[in-house]
Structure 1
Amino acid sequence: MAKKVLVVEDNDLNRKLFCDLLRAHDFEPEPLSDGREALKTAKAKTPDLIIMDIQMPHVSGLDLIGALKKDAGLKAIPIMAVTAYAAKGDEERIRDAGAESYVSKPISVVKFIEEVRALI
């Protein structure tokens, strides 16, 4: 059975790219464009992995990672953070929030899939 991956990404092109890559490698993506729905969707779908954009309108990916890790039913789900705004110290802040992995945009297709496989 295919592993489920919740893809929380507000950018349509990035979300489609991530989902297409996941499908091509036999994962079952669950796309989500609005981060405000991430907790509810994660509880309903119980994904094997969450891919989380950091810079989104309405809610920060960092705040969502923290909220997911504080939820007893969700904290064991690994989170791979993706962001285009990779400044010095960002990776440390993202990992401190609870993300197990960090990939900067533009993504390397090979690295993206390697990270997904390493986390599931």
Structure 2
Amino acid sequence: MTADPHRHSVLIVEDEDSIALAIEFVLARQGYAHRRVARGRDALASIREARPDLVLLDIMLPDISGYEIIETLRADPALRGMRVLMMTARGSVVERRKGLELGADGFIAKPFELNELRAEIARLLDAG
């Protein structure tokens, strides 16, 4: 079953083109409205403007880290409820713990299986 594209929107914050293309493929196949930004500062502006239902947030970005972005979101009363799935190539236990402690709703290590990503996205969007 595919989602109604008007029901859920997803913001992809990912600086690696190949990974972003794979994520966009999954989101398009599932029928989600989506947009991508490659820089952390652009992510904060996009989140404030578009208010997506879910943010897929890479930790290692060229300007500010995903950790800084989630700290900013959780500190802002208007954005603290935003659902965030953090993604990192350094999928260590320490990275996962830090992301979850900062308020991430989920965490996925790259490279990930597309089915794993699809399931996490569905879980987080169904939770809201």
TM-score of the superposition, structure 1-length normalised?
0.95
Q: Deviations over 1:80-107 (max 9, x none)?
A: 0010011231110010111010000001
How many angstroms does 1:74 deviate by? Answer: 1.1
Secondary structure, aligned partner of 1:72:
coil
How much has 1:2 moved relative to structure 2? 3.9
The alignment's C-alpha RMSD in Å is 1.0
Equivalents in 2 of 1:46, 1:58: separation in Å? 21
Alignment of 1:10-89 (within 5 A): 10-89=15-94
| Alignment partner of 1:90 is 2:86 | no
Q: Which residue of 2 aligns with 1:118?
A: 123
Q: Tell me, which stretches of 5 or more residues in structure 1 are unaligned?
A: none
- 4+ runs of 1 displaced by more than 3 Å? none
The reply on whether 1:100 has 2:105 as its aligned counterpart is yes
Which runs of 5 or more structure 2 residues have no equivalent in the other structure?
1-5
- Aligned length, in residue pairs: 120
Give, as a single letter, the amino acid of the residue that structure 1 aligns with 2:28: R
1:28 alignment partner AA: A
Tell whether the 8 Å contact from 1:10 to 1:35 is kept in structure 2 after alignment: no
Q: Quick one: distance in 2 between partners of 1:80 and 1:110?
A: 15
- For 1:31 and 1:25, the matched residues in 2 are separated by 16
Q: CA deviation at 1:117?
A: 0.6
Q: CA deviation at 1:66?
A: 0.7
Secondary structure of the corresponding residue to residue 86 of structure 1: coil
The whole-number CA distance in structure 1 between the counterparts of 2:93 and 2:118 is: 24
Q: CA–CA distance in 2 between the matches of 1:32 and 1:41?
A: 8
Counterpart contact for 1:2–1:26, Cα < 8 Å: no
* SS class of match (2:35): strand
What amino acid does structure 2 have at the position aligned with 1:81?
M
Identity %: 26
From 6, 10, 14, the counterpart of 2:11: 6
